[in-house]
Amino acid sequence: MAAENMEKREFDEKLILEVEANPALYNKSERSYSDRYKKEEGWQNIAIVLNADVKLCRERWKNLRDTFAKCYKKEKYTPSGSQAPIKISWPYYEIMKFLIPNVEVPRTFGNMEKEGDTNNEVFATVPTEEEITTPSNKRPNSSPTAQKPTKKK
């Protein structure tokens, strides 16, 4: 079992290093990133080097990349009120840091305002007390003595 895990870890590390050597597979600012033939060629070469199937390499890479993104999000966006920064213990985290400029991690937002963030536009849509208490068939500025429309006979 230990030998099997060692082989898997060795495979993962080699895969990470091979992908890092092929920026067309992960770097969106690369000209060849949008060239699917270059990408396919890159995956073919990686599969040959690792003596594995292209599909296996792609699937394993996707899993590694997604796990890295989760770990990075945890480290970068620790919740307010946390006692100490989170230390990532995932074994591939350090060697995958080359992905940081290319990882899109959605930022979650809390309910606390940032200092200097005073956006009063939200309050412009809140109805006034008069609008709330006025029945919908009357205008807010109408008075109880206003004339009612007369029926034509």
Against a cut of 0.75, is the pTM above it?
A: no
- Sorted by where each begins, the domain ranges of the chain are 2-102
Of the chain, the end-to-end C-alpha distance in Å amounts to 98
Residue 81, helix vs strand vs coil: coil
How many whole angstroms separate alpha carbon 117 and alpha carbon 112?
10
pLDDT (tens digit, 0 to 9) for every residue of the chain, 153 residues total? 555 665 999 999 999 999 999 999 999 999 899 999 999 999 999 999 999 999 999 999 999 999 999 988 888 776 666 666 667 788 999 999 999 988 876 665 555 555 554 444 444 444 555 555 555 555 555 555 556 666 665
How many whole angstroms separate alpha carbon 131 and alpha carbon 84?
49
